[in-house]
Every structure is written in C-alpha cells, then in structure tokens.
Structure 1
Amino acid sequence: MYSKEEVSKQKQAFWTAFGRYMKPVLSADGEIISWSNYKTGIPGIFFKLDADNRQAVVTILITQSNPQLHTTFYELFRTQQKMLEAALGEHDWEWEQDITADNGSTVSRISRQIDGVSVLRTEDWPVLISFFKERMIALDEYWSTAKYAFEALL
C-alpha cells in the first residue's frame, strides 16, 4: 500500500517522464506544445489525460457554463464524429452528454480508457505512454482542422 505522498510522487514522476518523452513531438501544425496540458484554445473544451492505480483515460471534456453553447459544442462533436473517429482510428469511445461532475457542475465527455494498468507500477508506464501518445497525437490532428468550426460559435 502506498501513502498519499508516495502516490503523488509516483504520479508526478510519470507525468514528468511522459512530458520528456513527448517533448520532441510537434503538433499537427508544427508547433511545440504541452501534450499533458493540451490547450484547445476554446473556453470550456479540454483534452484531458488521467491515470490512477486501476486505469488510464483520455477525455474530451466539455465544461462550458453557458448551457446553450455547451449543448452546441457537444452536438458539433457528434456531427464531426466520423472525422474524429477517422483521426483516432477507433470507434469505441464513450459519449456522455450532460452528466454531473464531482463538483456538481454539468459536463459532457467523450472518453476512451484502458483498465488493468497502474501509474504506480513503472512496468506499466510504456503501455500508459503509448496509450496517451497515440490518442493525443490523433486528437491534435483532428483538432487542427475541427477547431475552426468551434471558434465560429464563439
């Protein structure tokens, strides 16, 4: 069993390792970016990575507080679903509209997870890094074109 401090240090070590691994990878637009803290440039839309002692998750998170814009963002992702899936090379992402987040706010998310991996086991890190790398590069490729439709809504 790990203490909270040990868990925190191990997670920090993983994200540092992931950042170093991804540092030489440029965005689809040829820019240097922070892959673990991806900036979409659209308020209320985030690409999130998370790993704990049981699973790893890549999430497109919609947190837009304006309910109409929130719904419009989700519907636009749905409209672009085939384009998103083509970039990802996957069709098994989970789509959840208007769910309650831990803080009580309403969010929507599109996510993909793998189970049975742990950020606390360094032997799982190659699997985690590969899982995150492939999907973030694909999301970035998708976003380099898709973002303009979202910008037009603002």
Structure 2
Amino acid sequence: MYSKEQASQFKQAFWTAFGQYMQPVLSADGLRTNWVNYKTGVKHINFKMQADNKLATIAIEMNHPDKELQQLFFEQFATYKTMLRSSLAEDWDWQLHTTDNYGKTISRIVKETGPVSIYQQGDWPKLISFFKPRIVALDEFWNNAKAAFEF
C-alpha cells in the first residue's frame, strides 16, 4: 500500500509521461493540444481520463448542476451516437444521472479497462495504449460536433 504522497507521485509521474508521449500528436485541427487536460471549450462538458490501482476510464462527462440541462446535453450526445461510435470504433457505456467519486450527479459516456494499475510502471504501456487512441478519437469527434453543443 502506498502513502497518499507516494500515490500522488505515481499519478503525477504517469500523467507527465503520458503528456510527453502525446506532445507530438496534433489535434484534429492540426494544433498542439494539452491532451491530459483536454479543454472542450463548452462549460459543463469534459473529457476525463482517470486511473487508479484497479482500472482506467475515459469519459465524456456532463456535470451541469441543473439535472434537466444535464439530461439535455446527454440527449444531444445521443443524437450524435452514430458519429461518436464511428469515431471511437467501439461502443461505450451511456450513464444518465450517475454519481461521481464526490457524490455529485453527473451523466457520462464512458469506457473502462482493467485490471490495470497506475501504480505499476509495468502497466503504463497498457494505460497509454488505452488512453491515446480514445482521446484522439474524442478530439476528432468533438472537432465535428462541438458547434452543436455551444449555446
């Protein structure tokens, strides 16, 4: 078991390594992108990558505090489901009004993998292989769909 400080150091080391690995990868617009802290440019819609000692997830999260507006975002994504599926080349799990790690109600479209641990450097290639194609595919999708989510 790792102390909080050690766990934090492992996570920071992984995300730094992932960021460096992704640095030469340009966005769908041909621009440099901070892949680790991807900015969608639309408030309350985030692309999140997370990893712990059991699994890794990548998700489109809708976290608007108004549940009805959150559901509207979710339904709007559903209208783009075919385009999203085409970009990702796989099915993801659609979760309307679930709870995040902090007890906050969110909706999300998520893919997970496991068992894998961010605390095991031997698993880092698996994590990178999981995250890289999916965040790049999300960027491609978002490049085509973002305008529909801006109000």
TM-score (norm: length of structure 2): 0.96
Partners of 1:52 and 1:149 lie apart in 2 by 33
Q: Secondary structure at the match of 2:142?
A: helix
Q: Which residue of 2 aligns with 1:108?
A: 107
**Number of residue pairs the alignment of both structures matches:** 151
Partners of 2:100 and 2:4 lie apart in 1 by 23
Q: Unmatched 5+ residue regions in structure 2?
A: none
Q: Unmatched 5+ residue regions in structure 1?
A: none
Q: Which residue of 1 aligns with 2:143?
A: 144
**Within-5 A mapping of 1:11-90:** 11-90=11-90
Distance apart, 1:79 and its partner CA: 1.0
Partners of 1:90 and 1:126 lie apart in 2 by 20
Partners of 1:102 and 1:95 lie apart in 2 by 17
Q: Share of identical aligned residues, percent?
A: 51
Partners of 1:95 and 1:125 lie apart in 2 by 26
Partners of 1:112 and 1:103 lie apart in 2 by 19
Q: Which residue of 1 aligns with 2:6?
A: 6
Superposed CA RMSD in Å reads 1.1
Distance apart, 1:101 and its partner CA: 3.0
Runs of 4+ in 1 over 4 A off after TM superposition: none
**Within-5 A mapping of 1:109-128:** 109-128=108-127
